[in-house]
């Protein structure tokens, strides 16, 4: 009996163990929620999915809505020290710019490369799907446009950088020397030329179009101070008549406004978002909260004071100015851009008032903040999905004005384009005082002023100040609310590569002034 | 399985076996001398208390005899010689016998536990036979500290085990356990915890159900667990029944928890406002408290409207914890059982929490026949935790941030919640708003069910097979409702009522999450012990094990309901519903995943005369976590021990030593605990969307991470030497270990150039060493009726990074030659005085604060180049403790027992900031020491000029030693007085025994760390923490 017991148990256990151990797949486990790279690239749908993946890269850091934060490196806005989304943001303005700095400085470098890696992966593999050449060329053109945008960002920030034309299969291939600034620009133009050739000439609806590529190419030329080449492209866009100014300045910066065709016709390229699953920042964040509640960037009085009166005159010259109510009767764009100290956030639909953190400067950012989302509690404001606009038609007009003034001086075409922007529906400023701004230099300053006002708190001014080469004279005059001066020296026109990056890529040479 | 590797293992096992077998064979061949003379020996073995020692063993040469029930024995000796009398629990005695004798042998009681059976991997060993480094602690010692969580009881009990309790928050007090220092930087640093042989969670156990805990620290004892053992192994054995009369025992404990240390904030409102105004001026902030407001507070008679509110005092209060445990155990001839039920009801020191834990344990064995034993262990836990929507640090910092100007409710008695006093003052949510917002709950069910069969096909061989299932089911719910809050000092001009003002809920509506994890384990082990001749003891063990794991989860959220008080998703509208919603307030999203592990393992041990010991362990593991080509790995270990005290020549030199054992071991362990699919090249589609038309999302696919397909194990080699020494009568016991633990091929995310544009790949690159010692001392004695013992332990672990591909420099440094993640900081050098900021002052330029003002933080220019920049950061000690120590005292007198237990950490430094450190962080009141802040008149070098948190003159140097706090401490961890009720008192009540006790935990603490508890494990760097608790207990053990 006992013997049988042992035997029975022995047999049972042996069977059991044999049964489990002979399962050959026991150690083969695969992730249930991602796609194997081996079987991808077989259909047009795969291609479109990968394409969306590259566009998705636009949503991160300074390629997306957070580009607005680049204003804090200018005389436009102060960075609240509580901004932990982009650490060291404020530090970079007041002399903290050093290779040891992490946070925002590293994000400026790495985010474009994340897009570039995705773009290269796409371009290297898309032919596997064997689509018609015409079809595939449009896809490639979109991706090459995005890649150019990313390299343009890098070259503006760092000058010459490492250029990869392909997706890397070996880690060591990433550790190469940087190309010169000229080589980077040449590569950007190469991509943009392909994009201009193959992208459809139509209104922008989320996918890059020919106008997007032409406009960015013009901006690249202007950064290179190649006025005549820029002029040709800008004239092409203007004469093409595809794009036109929005009929509401305010609506350009809200989700609802951006869906109106009378507004979206001005937008030439944007980083797009869509609530609730593709918002600025999942959880706690997004422009409504970060600007409308946390006050992460706070406009300087200097910016507010720069707005003209509604009659187009400087405050000191205008009959509308009253010292006790200094901000009344201003250029309407002020009220779309800045929340003044005596104003309250009020939801235009429900009448509810909003809560917000204090501003050191006393001013808050209004542009991008959607008052219809008040109260700005985490639950509702995390729905922020305003598209961040990289390029809009007003920019084309002001770029054109600038280019023509540089080439031909104060000619009629310059004033006309300026007046188009200043006289746009809802802004309705009178025409430019041609007598007052009658020389090339005066007009140049005035165009620059107009750019500051039109694009205030949109993230363009930092690169504008740099390409005008006035950052090193203008910025040291700016002081933070606690009285610390901005620092911008000659070598700061290029940012430093981080120590970590130099360690990771020993071939990379540090920019001058940071060694 | 790859054939060649299999063969390799076979060779290795054969070779190892041969090494052991050949000396054994030779020794067996030696003939034993025979003579004709016979000496007759008889007598009785008595214990030092006078009673007979039943079953004592008498050794003479190769012969062995046993004493009977009365300790009586007879035997015949071939020649005159030494006879050894021994018995479990007694020190053995050697007598020389030359002629026929009748002896009365008195054996001293020996508590040195040399003969104690200790749990080792897949088996048990006599402690005297252990050649590796392990330490044990029994359940009784653990429950002396009646803290709610069993894992926290291990603190200070095991040399080399660092236990850090994060806080006293109910249900969130799971400590971090670290054995012999941080061993890796890529994989998990948690030890493998096995409960009755099966991986489980120590935090879920009822402390009353623990029979003992063994911690395997070195490679020889842990290598049998191979790829999971690199961080050490903790073996927990639950209580089982013992044959004999059924015992019912009941233990009750009531504990009173009070906070150990809290910040001392300024609570005078007028003072607060004045200090704020100074700080705001310095920081350049527009908003100021108006003089009339300040006066209103200063001169108020209506303290409801104008309070000097002490939020810390109001929100943090003592709380009571109840713990009950009932167990029924016993057994007959063929079976034993233990059924135990536990209940814990823990209230929190901050209201709004409620934590309950229910435990059930069934331990049952049955001997079906002489050859077959079956048994089962079922351990079930149910934990129910209710909390406010904000917990831990977030709860504490809101209390800190609320300041003195307002209380929880409006002064009008309406019960409406206050948001704050003034619209523009800095603030977080008022803590009362958390209570208005809603709550969250977590229900956690765990079952660990195992069944085993022991078969003894023939003598000395036991075949054990165990099948176990770990099942964890968790339900989580966040419920938040819209609520209103008001400004206590501002009126709405239109309504004349208090002005409405609220940040509102942050995860509105209902968010539910269900998750399930299943871990089936099967192992089968052959265990063989035998003796060749009289002196050669041989043991072998071989086994197979497989473990697999899978987890799945679903999270859903709905936002709006007509009846927002409803807590079920069904009561909410589907519009705006979402799946897998993520938010910092919610627990991290669980990604479904699976892994599996398959292993064979073996152990061979040999000892000669129980004097010389050698042992080898080997495990051959395969894991799903690495690619098939690299899947299998071998983890060997070797150890040896010499009980020197059994040598005659040692006995002659050290006659007072009852034991001296020298040990050495070396082996290799693995760590596989990194992500699950690290080697697989995939395109991620989860949460990758782009909307081209602002109407619909398009799914995107991206490659996120560079993959290294040749990923393999992380390995850790440990070399350990040590000795155990005991004086006769346990007047002194010493256990000493020195170890050198080196982890190599560390699985870590390797830095890549940012320009690669892809996430860091996980690869095998990196090497780190921990060296240290562990010393435990104990002294036992009895003076008259007083018995007492003193013990102490100290351990060190010095961490050094030996290889990292790319160093990293932040406020922590990862550089070769330094401890991993050491503090890397600017050195604070006092405060800028007015003359320091004059033009031409001889003070280095501060890169991060280029235009300093008097009262700002001043840093040292380490390299003397005239500029304080990132080059001037230095490595600062304190990332790891210099040493950890504990010591204790037990005194017994008649029915009284007193124990006291101190525990400390030396040399640990925490860098902490914000609420409670930086004044006016979200409105946080300054602590009282800020009354001594720098001013032009008060040229302090201790504190800068008062500022509002974020002020760049201070904020720029957050990564400086100014923010570093010495978290060394020594505390009276526990003191306990118990009284055993005399048996004759209990007879009328038909009780078998009763004990009552009082005890206290964290009684006092000596530390420089002010305003909070030095013991914490925060990773946020925030000073604010849910408080640790002082616990005063009263309880009783009753046996029926």
**Is B757 in contact with A113 (Cβ distance < 8 A)?**
yes
> pLDDT at position A15, please?
55
End-to-end CA distance of chain B: 55
- Cα within 13 Å of Cα(B797), Cβ side: 26
B-chain residues within 8 Å CB-CB of A341? 286
DSSP B609-662: TTTEEEEEEEEEEEETTS-GGG-EEEEEEEEEEEEGGGSHHHHHH-TTEEEEEE
- Asked if A222 and A244 count as a contact pair (C-beta separation under 8 A), the reply is no
**Is A272 in contact with B694 (Cβ distance < 8 A)?**
yes
> pLDDT at position B110, please?
57
> pLDDT at position B35, please?
43
**Is A162 in contact with B758 (Cβ distance < 8 A)?**
no
Rounded to the nearest integer, the mean pLDDT of chain B is 89
Range with lowest mean pLDDT among B173-177, B217-221, B658-662, B747-751: B747-751
Q: Which of B756, B811, B919 to mutate to test the interface with A (most CBs of A within 10 A)?
A: B756
> pLDDT at position B185, please?
86
**Is B702 in contact with A56 (Cβ distance < 8 A)?**
yes
Q: Does A394 score more than 60 pLDDT?
A: yes
- Please state the φ and ψ torsions of residue A83, each to the nearest 5 degrees: -75, 105
Q: What's the whole-number mean pLDDT along residues B164-184? A: 90
Range with lowest mean pLDDT among A180-194, B316-330, B381-395, B744-758: B744-758
> pLDDT at position B4, please?
46
Q: Residue B684 is inside which H or E element, if any?
A: strand B682-684
Residue burial A108-122, b: 16+ Cβ < 10 Å; e: rest = bbbbbbbbbbbbbbb
Contacts with B482 (C-beta within 8 Å, 6 or more apart), sequence order: B504, B505, B508, B564
Among chain A residues, CA nearest to B464? A13
From residue B376, how far is each of A477, B204, B335, B361, B466 by CA, in Å?
79, 19, 11, 10, 9
> pLDDT at position B91, please?
66
**3-class DSSP state of A458:** coil
Q: What's the whole-number mean pLDDT along residues B382-404? A: 94
**Is A100 in contact with B692 (Cβ distance < 8 A)?**
no
Report the C-alpha gap between A477 and A485 in whole angstroms.
Answer: 7
pLDDT of B846-901, one tens digit each? Answer: 988 888 999 999 999 999 999 998 889 999 999 999 999 999 999 999 889 999 99
Query: Which residue shows structure tokens 């075409």?
Result: A413
Rounded to the nearest integer, the mean pLDDT of chain A is 92
Structure tokens at B219: 């490679």
Report the C-alpha gap between B185 and B751 in whole angstroms.
Answer: 13
Name the burial class of residue B592, with classes exposed (0-12), middle (13-18) and buried (19+) by CB atoms within 10 angstroms of its CB.
middle
The number of C-beta contacts closer than 8 angstroms across A and B is 326
Contacts with A172 (C-beta within 8 Å, 6 or more apart), sequence order: none
B-chain residues within 8 Å CB-CB of A301? none
**Closest residue by Cα to residue B405 from B378, B383, B377, B424:** B424
Q: How does residue B751 score in pLDDT terms, banded at 50, 70 and 90?
A: confident
CA B339 to chain centre: 27
A-chain residues within 8 Å CB-CB of B583? 282-284, 378, 382
> pLDDT at position B88, please?
61
**Is A27 in contact with B684 (Cβ distance < 8 A)?**
no
**3-class DSSP state of B768:** strand
**Closest residue by Cα to residue B143 from B781, B792, B899:** B899
Q: What is the DSSP letter of A346?
A: B
A-chain residues within 8 Å CB-CB of B851? 483-485
Range with lowest mean pLDDT among A144-148, B105-109, B513-517: B105-109
- Asked if B560 and B573 count as a contact pair (C-beta separation under 8 A), the reply is yes
Query: Which residue shows structure tokens 């834990």?
Result: B357
Structure tokens at B880: 């790891």
Residue B613 C-alpha, separation from nearest chain A C-alpha, in angstroms:
32
pLDDT of B196-253, one tens digit each? Answer: 999 999 999 999 999 999 999 999 999 999 999 999 999 999 999 888 888 899 999 9
pLDDT of B758-778, one tens digit each? Answer: 988 888 889 999 999 999 999
**3-class DSSP state of A133:** helix
Q: How does residue B78 score in pLDDT terms, banded at 50, 70 and 90?
A: confident
Radius of gyration of chain B (CA): 33
Provide the percentage of residues in chain B whose pLDDT is more than 70: 94
Q: Residue A14 is inside which H or E element, if any?
A: helix A2-21
**More confident site: B585 or A178:** A178
**Is B754 in contact with A273 (Cβ distance < 8 A)?**
no
**Is B955 in contact with A38 (Cβ distance < 8 A)?**
no
**Is A205 in contact with B692 (Cβ distance < 8 A)?**
yes
Residue B731 C-alpha, separation from nearest chain A C-alpha, in angstroms:
49
**Is B370 in contact with A9 (Cβ distance < 8 A)?**
no
Q: Does B919 score more than 60 pLDDT?
A: yes
**Closest residue by Cα to residue A381 from A394, A397, A368, A398:** A368
Q: Does B332 score more than 60 pLDDT?
A: yes
Residue B827 C-alpha, separation from nearest chain A C-alpha, in angstroms:
16
Among chain A residues, CA nearest to B583? A283
Number of helices (H), then strands (E), belonging to chain B: the values are 11, 59
Q: How does residue B500 score in pLDDT terms, banded at 50, 70 and 90?
A: confident
A-chain residues within 8 Å CB-CB of B501? 355
Report the C-alpha gap between B796 and B908 in whole angstroms.
Answer: 12
Report the C-alpha gap between A193 and A197 in whole angstroms.
Answer: 6
**Is B592 in contact with A33 (Cβ distance < 8 A)?**
yes
A-chain residues within 8 Å CB-CB of B685? 33-35, 49
Question: Pairing relation of β-strands B845-846 and B867-868?
Answer: parallel
B-chain residues within 8 Å CB-CB of A62? none
Report the C-alpha gap between B776 and B793 in whole angstroms.
Answer: 4
**Is A482 in contact with B546 (Cβ distance < 8 A)?**
no
């Amino acid at each position: 009996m006992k013997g049988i017991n042992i035997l029975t148990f022995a047999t049972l256990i042996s069977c059991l163990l044999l049964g489990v151990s002979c399962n050959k797949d026991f150690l083969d486990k695969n992730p249930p929620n991602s796609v194997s790279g081996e079987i991808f690239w077989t259909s047009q749908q795969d291609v479109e999915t990968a394409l969306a993946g590259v566009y998705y890269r636009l949503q991160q850091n300074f390629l997306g809505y957070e580009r607005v934060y680049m204003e804090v490196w200018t005389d436009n806005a102060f960075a609240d020290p509580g901004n932990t989304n982009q650490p060291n943001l404020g530090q970079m303005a007041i002399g903290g710019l050093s290779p040891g700095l992490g946070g925002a400085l590293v994000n400026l470098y790495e985010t474009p490369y994340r897009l570039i890696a995705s773009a290269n992966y796409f371009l290297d593999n898309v032919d596997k799907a064997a689509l018609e050449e015409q079809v595939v060329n449009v896809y490639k053109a979109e991706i090459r446009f995005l890649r150019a945008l990313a390299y343009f960002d890098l070259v503006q920030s760092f000058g010459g950088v490492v250029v990869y034309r392909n997706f890397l299969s070996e880690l060591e291939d990433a550790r190469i020397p940087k190309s010169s600034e000229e080589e980077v620009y040449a590569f950007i133009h190469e991509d943009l030329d392909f994009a201009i050739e193959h992208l459809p000439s139509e209104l922008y609806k989320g996918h890059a179009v020919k106008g997007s590529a032409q406009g960015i190419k013009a901006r690249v030329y202007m950064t290179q101070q190649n006025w005549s080449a820029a002029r040709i492209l800008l004239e092409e866009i203007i004469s093409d008549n595809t794009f036109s100014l929005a009929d509401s300045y305010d609506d350009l910066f809200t989700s609802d406004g951006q869906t109106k065709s009378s507004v979206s016709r001005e937008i030439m390229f944007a980083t797009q978002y869509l609530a609730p699953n593709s918002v600025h920042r999942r959880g706690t964040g997004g422009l409504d909260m970060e600007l409308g509640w946390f006050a992460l960037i706070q406009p300087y009085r200097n910016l507010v004071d720069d707005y003209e009166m509604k009659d187009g005159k400087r405050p000191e010259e205008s009959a509308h100015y009253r010292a006790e109510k200094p901000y009344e009767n201003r250029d309407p764009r002020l009220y779309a851009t800045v929340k003044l100290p005596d104003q309250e956030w009020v939801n235009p639909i429900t009448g509810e008032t909003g809560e917000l953190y204090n501003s050191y400067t006393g001013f808050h950012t209004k542009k991008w903040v959607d008052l219809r989302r008040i109260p700005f509690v985490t639950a509702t404001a995390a729905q922020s999905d305003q598209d961040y606009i990289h390029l809009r038609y007003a920019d084309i007009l002001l770029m054109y004005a600038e280019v023509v003034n540089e080439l031909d001086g104060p000619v009629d075409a310059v004033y006309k384009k300026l007046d188009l922007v200043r006289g746009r529906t809802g802004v309705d400023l009178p025409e430019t005082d041609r007598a007052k701004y009658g020389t090339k230099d005066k007009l140049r300053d005035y165009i620059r002023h107009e750019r500051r006002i039109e694009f205030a708190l949109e993230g363009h001014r930092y690169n504008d100040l740099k390409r005008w080469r006035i950052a090193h004279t203008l910025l040291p005059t700016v002081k933070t609310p606690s009285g610390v001066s901005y620092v911008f020296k000659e070598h700061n026109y290029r940012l430093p590569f981080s120590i970590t990056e130099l360690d990771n890529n020993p071939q990379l040479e540090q920019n001058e002034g940071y060694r | 399985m790859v054939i060649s590797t299999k063969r390799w293992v076979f060779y290795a096992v054969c070779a190892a076996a041969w090494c052991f077998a050949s000396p054994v064979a030779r020794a067996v061949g030696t003939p034993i001398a025979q003579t004709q003379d016979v000496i007759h020996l008889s007598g009785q073995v008595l214990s030092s208390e006078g009673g007979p020692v039943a079953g004592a063993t008498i050794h003479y040469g190769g012969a062995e005899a046993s004493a009977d029930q009365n300790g009586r024995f007879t035997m015949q000796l071939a020649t005159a010689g030494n006879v050894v009398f021994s018995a479990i629990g007694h020190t053995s005695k050697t007598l020389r016998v030359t002629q026929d004798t009748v002896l009365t042998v008195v054996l001293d009681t020996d508590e040195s536990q040399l003969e104690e059976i200790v749990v080792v991997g897949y088996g048990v060993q006599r402690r005297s036979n252990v050649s590796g480094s392990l330490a044990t602690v029994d359940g009784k010692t653990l429950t002396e500290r009646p803290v709610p969580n069993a894992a926290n009881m291990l603190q200070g009990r095991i040399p080399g085990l660092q236990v850090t309790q994060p806080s006293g928050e109910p249900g969130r007090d799971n400590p971090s356990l670290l054995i012999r220092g941080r061993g890796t930087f890529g994989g998990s640093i948690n030890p493998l915890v096995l409960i009755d042989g099966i991986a489980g969670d120590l935090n879920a156990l009822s402390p009353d159900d623990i029979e003992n805990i063994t911690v395997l620290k070195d490679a020889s004892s842990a290598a049998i667990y191979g790829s999971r053992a690199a961080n050490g192994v903790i073996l927990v054995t639950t209580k089982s029944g013992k044959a004999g009369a059924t015992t019912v025992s009941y233990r009750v404990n009531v504990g009173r928890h009070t906070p150990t240390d809290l910040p001392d904030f300024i609570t005078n409102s007028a003072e607060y406002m004045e200090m704020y105004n100074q700080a705001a001026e310095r920081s350049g902030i527009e908003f100021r408290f108006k003089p009339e407001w300040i006066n209103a507070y200063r001169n108020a008679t209506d303290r409801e409207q104008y309070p000097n509110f002490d939020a810390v005092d109001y929100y943090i209060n003592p709380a009571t914890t109840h713990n009950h445990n009932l167990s029924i155990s016993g057994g007959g001839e063929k079976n034993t059982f233990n059924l135990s039920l536990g209940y814990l009801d823990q209230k929190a020191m901050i209201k709004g929490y409620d934590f309950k834990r229910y435990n059930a344990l069934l331990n049952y064995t049955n001997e079906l026949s002489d050859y077959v034993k079956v048994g089962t262990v079922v351990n079930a836990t149910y934990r129910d935790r209710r909390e406010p929507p904000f917990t831990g640090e977030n709860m504490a910092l809101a209390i800190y941030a609320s300041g003195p100007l307002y209380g929880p409710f409006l002064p009008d008695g309406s019960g409406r919640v206050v948001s704050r006093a003034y619209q523009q003052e800095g603030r977080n949510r008022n803590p009362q708003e958390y209570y208005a917002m809603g709550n969250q709950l977590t229900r956690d069910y765990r079952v660990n069910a195992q069944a085993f069969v022991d078969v003894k096909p023939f003598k000395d061989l036991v075949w054990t097979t165990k099948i176990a299932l770990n099942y964890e089911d968790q339900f989580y719910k966040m419920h938040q409702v819209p609520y209103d809050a008001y400004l206590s000092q501002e009126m709405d001009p239109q309504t004349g009522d208090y002005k409405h003002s609220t940040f509102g809920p942050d995860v509105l509506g209902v968010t539910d999450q269900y998750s399930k994890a299943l871990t089936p384990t099967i192992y089968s082990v052959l265990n063989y012990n035998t003796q060749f001749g009289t002196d050669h003891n041989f043991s072998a063990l071989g086994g197979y094990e497989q473990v697999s794991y899978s987890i799945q989860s679903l999270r859903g959220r709905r936002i709006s309901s007509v009846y927002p008080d409803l807590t079920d998703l069904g009561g909410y509208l589907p519009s705006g519903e979402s799946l897998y919603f993520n938010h910092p307030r919610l627990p991290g999203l669980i990604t479904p995943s699976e892994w599996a592990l398959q292993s064979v393992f073996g152990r061979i041990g040999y000892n000669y005369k129980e004097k010389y010991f050698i042992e080898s362990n080997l495990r051959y593991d395969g894991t799903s976590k690495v690619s098939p080509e690299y899947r299998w790995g071998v983890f060997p270990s070797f150890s040896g021990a010499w009980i020197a005290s059994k040598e005659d020549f040692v006995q002659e030199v050290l006659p007072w030593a009852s034991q001296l054992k020298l040990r050495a071991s070396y082996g290799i362990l693995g760590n596989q605990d990194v992500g699950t699919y690290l080697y697989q090249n995939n395109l991620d589609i989860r949460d990758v969307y782009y909307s081209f038309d602002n109407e619909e999302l398009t799914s995107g696919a991206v490659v996120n991470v560079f993959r290294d397909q040749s990923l393999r194990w992380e390995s850790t080699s440990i070399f350990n030497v040590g000795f155990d020494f005991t004086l006769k009568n346990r007047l002194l016991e010493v256990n000493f270990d020195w170890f050198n633990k080196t982890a190599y091929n560390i699985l870590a995310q390797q830095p890549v150039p940012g320009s690669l544009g892809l996430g860091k790949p996980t690869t095998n690159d990196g090497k780190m060493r921990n060296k240290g010692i562990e010393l435990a001392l104990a002294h036992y004695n009895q003076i008259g009726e007083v018995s007492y013992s003193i013990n102490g332990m100290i351990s060190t672990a010095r961490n050094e990074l030996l290889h990292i591909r790319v160093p990293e420099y932040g406020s922590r440094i990862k550089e070769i030659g330094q401890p991993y993640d050491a503090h890397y900081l600017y050195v604070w050098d006092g405060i800028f005085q007015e003359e320091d900021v004059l033009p031409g002052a001889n003070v280095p330029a501060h890169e991060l604060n280029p235009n300093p003002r008097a009262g700002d933080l001043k840093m040292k220019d380490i390299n003397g180049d005239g500029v304080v920049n990132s080059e001037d950061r230095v490595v600062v000690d304190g990332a790891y403790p210099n040493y950890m120590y504990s010591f204790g005292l037990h005194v017994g007198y008649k029915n009284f027992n007193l124990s006291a237990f101190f525990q400390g950490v030396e040399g640990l430094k925490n860098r902490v900031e914000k609420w409670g450190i930086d004044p006016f962080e979200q409105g946080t009141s300054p602590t009282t020491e800020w009354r001594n802040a720098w001013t032009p008149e008060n040229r302090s070098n201790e504190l800068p000029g008062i500022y509002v948190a974020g002020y760049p003159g201070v904020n720029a140097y957050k990564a400086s030693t100014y923010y570093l706090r010495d978290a060394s401490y020594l505390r009276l961890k526990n003191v306990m007085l118990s009284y055993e009720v005399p048996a004759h008192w209990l007879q009328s009540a038909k009780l078998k025994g009763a004990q009552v006790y009082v005890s206290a935990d964290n009684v006092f603490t000596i530390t420089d760390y002010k305003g909070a508890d030095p013991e914490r494990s925060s990773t946020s760097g925030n000073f604010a923490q849910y408080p640790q608790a002082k616990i005063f207990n009263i309880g009783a053990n009753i046996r029926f």
